[in-house]
Amino acid sequence: MTTGTTTPARNGADREGFRQAMAWLHTWAGLILGWLLFAIFLTGTLSFFRSEFNLWMRPELHSMLGAATTPANQAAQAANDADGAAFQVAQKSIDALMRKVPDVTQWILHLPDERDPAVNILWRDTGNGRFETLRMDPQTGEAIDTRQTMGGDFFYRFHYELRTAQKGRWAIEGRWVVGVATMMMFIALITGVITHRRIFKDFFTFRPTKGGQRAWLDAHNVSGVLVLPFYLMITFSGLMIFHTLYMPAGIAATYKNEKGVDSNAYFAELQGEKAEQRVRRGPGDKVAPLPAIALQPILNEARTRWDNGRIGSVQARRDAKGRAVVEVTRHEGDRLQYRPPRLLFDATTGQWLDQADPTGPAAKTYGVLYGLHMARFADMGLRWALFGFGVLGSLMIATGMVLWSVKRGAKHLGRSPSQLQPQMQPGSNDATEPHAKPFKAPFGERLVVGINIATLAGLPLACGVYLASNRLIPVGIDGRADVELAWFFSAWGLTLLWALACAVVRPSRMGWSVPLGAAGLVWAALPVLNAVTTHTHLGITLPAGQWAWAGMDLAFLVNGAVFGWLSWRLRPGRVRRASARAANVSRQVGPAPDVSASGA
């Protein structure tokens, strides 16, 4: 009898102990790398519109279009016209490249599509050196002189390797750091689900009028639960993309030969190729220049084999035997799995040689995960939905970081956290009651508040400054792309100094409102800067229906309004009055029960 009565209590205690352990892990896994995770998640969200940022930051590309022609119409005509318009574009562009660089040893041509109206060519004249980029008008095949900028590629590169320069040297190290942060986020997601006993109830619970920790907890729960499958997918697939970097032991154990580990065979199988067709050259290796290539018969054959499917890119190179070959790749938007199917042709005779397409279950699974993460299959509607999911993910991380500060501040004041207005009135160390004795939080907690301000308010400001620099920096200066990045990191660094001054050195209620207000001004000013410095402004793009450009300017205005509203909400006077009202309510209704950060 005794055993029968005590076992349930012990089991219940064990369950609570396990949940509390997971809550501890959830809190610290999120806190330690939360600031980095916010930067990774936000720049990854912006990367869903990488091509649109590239277009907006190269206004010279607008000149290739007539006033009544949209990029989508131009691309459809150039890339999908069955009468061979796409082939003529490709041939014109390659002929122009061969005239410009007769000793080219490899080139990759990306045909225009609905998101990019230009022909983009990557080329090099060495065995394994860096690729140079050339952009061409699809109607004339002539090069377009665009300003030096990383464009949206910066957000994309920073997202997965923390790129700080156009030709950064620490890419592998950056990928390792991002990998560790991503694993911590995956742990935080799993432990958050385990500790969250009311996960389905909180799906519909948001009480912003409650104030204090309860409102922040609701915001964290709702943003975390609403699209939880997306967070799990995007985090796990991000880890899987670089699985060969993080988990090389399996390759080393399985792909062995007499010379050691044959990683070439692994990557060939992963991409549906034959190992002997993969060429590994050093930067100093001598490679014979490519001959002139007639693309028309090759592209005709490729389109026939794919039942008139879209062609995404064409590549010419030397294979392992030194033979010139052409590889035609299907458009990435035609299916979920990455990479798309490829066809291999002899560059001289145009004869079909082989095809490459992953067929094994493991390779297909990897390809689907890769495709889900990159979302290159998504149309504009789905892309906006994914962008919205990414914004919710950024809010989930941000509210979690603020929630930690709010709860810690409440504990020091010896009252229920739900009665405390957040230190997101950050920098504030005042009690919420009008005549409460001033309280100064410990240095570590003030430091967390300062870094919260620098990250959550400073990064959006830095992104806006980066875009503004594209219009303000003279077009012809050397190293222009790196100067734009210098503006980005300078703005972020100045926000950090401001945040530390307001939260650590001399606590002030201005900590949040000033950088958020600055972010609102910068984002709202972008369409104005665009109108003053280019001819791609809303007065031209809106009447012409050129949404690739107009949509960006309109989105910038929305961002400016959002950040301006946040700055107004967090202005010192309003926050002080809200704190007093919350204190009044708490005295009338009595102390509210403490709510754990897990929602338990």
57 CB-near residues (< 8 Å, 6+ apart): 147, 149, 151, 152, 467, 470
CA neighbours closer than 13 Å in the CB half-sphere of residue 173: 5
Give the dihedral sign, CA 251/255/260/262. negative
Question: Strand 342-346 vs strand 324-330: parallel, antiparallel, or unpaired?
Answer: antiparallel
Q: What is the number of other CB atoms lying within 10 angstroms of the CB of residue 527?
A: 20
Structure tokens at 125: 């004249």
Query: CA 306: distance to chain centroid?
Result: 32
Contact yes or no for 56/153 (Cβ under 8 A): no
Amino acid letter for position 21: A
Task: Read off φ and ψ for residue 41, nearest 5 degrees.
Answer: -70, -40
* Nearest-angstrom CA–CA distance, 283 and 125: 10
Q: Which amino acid is at 62?
A: H
Region of 427 on the Ramachandran plot (φ > 0 left; ψ -120 to 50 alpha; else beta): left
- How far is Cα 489 from Cα 591, in angstroms, rounded to an integer? 45
> Collapsing DSSP states into helix, strand and coil, what is residue 285?
coil
The answer to whether 207 and 221 are in contact (CB under 8 A) is no
For residue 345, what are its two tokens? 């042709």
Nearest-angstrom CA–CA distance, 490 and 593? 44
pLDDT string in tens for the chain (600-residue length): 444 444 455 565 566 676 677 777 777 777 788 999 999 999 999 999 999 999 999 999 887 654 334 444 444 444 445 446 667 888 988 998 999 899 999 999 999 988 888 899 999 987 777 889 999 888 777 888 899 999 999 999 999 999 999 888 889 999 999 999 999 999 988 888 887 666 666 555 656 555 556 676 777 778 888 899 999 999 999 999 999 999 999 888 888 888 888 888 898 888 888 877 777 776 677 888 999 999 999 999 999 999 988 999 999 999 888 899 999 999 999 999 998 999 999 999 999 999 999 888 999 999 999 999 999 999 999 999 999 999 999 999 999 888 888 777 666 555 544 444 444 444 444 433 334 445 567 888 889 999 999 999 999 999 999 999 999 999 989 999 999 999 999 999 999 999 999 988 877 778 899 999 999 999 999 999 999 999 988 999 999 888 889 999 999 999 999 999 999 988 776 555 555 554 454 444 444 444 343 333
Rounded to whole angstroms, how far apart are CA atoms 306 and 302?
Answer: 6
Q: Give the separation between CA 227 and CA 390, rounded to whole angstroms.
A: 9
- Tell me the C-alpha distance between 547 and 73, whole Å: 11
The span from the CA of 24 to the CA of 13, in Å, is: 16
What is the DSSP code (8-state) at residue 162? -
The DSSP symbol for 81 reads -
Q: How wide is the angle at C-alpha 180 spanned by C-alphas 179 and 184, nearest 5°? A: 115
Nearest CA-CA partner of 401 in 129, 173, 577, 188: 188
Whole-number Cα distances in Å, 315 to 37, 219, 526: 36, 48, 37
Which residue, 55, 62, 220, 64, is CA-closest to 137? 64
527/544 Cα distance (integer angstroms): 17
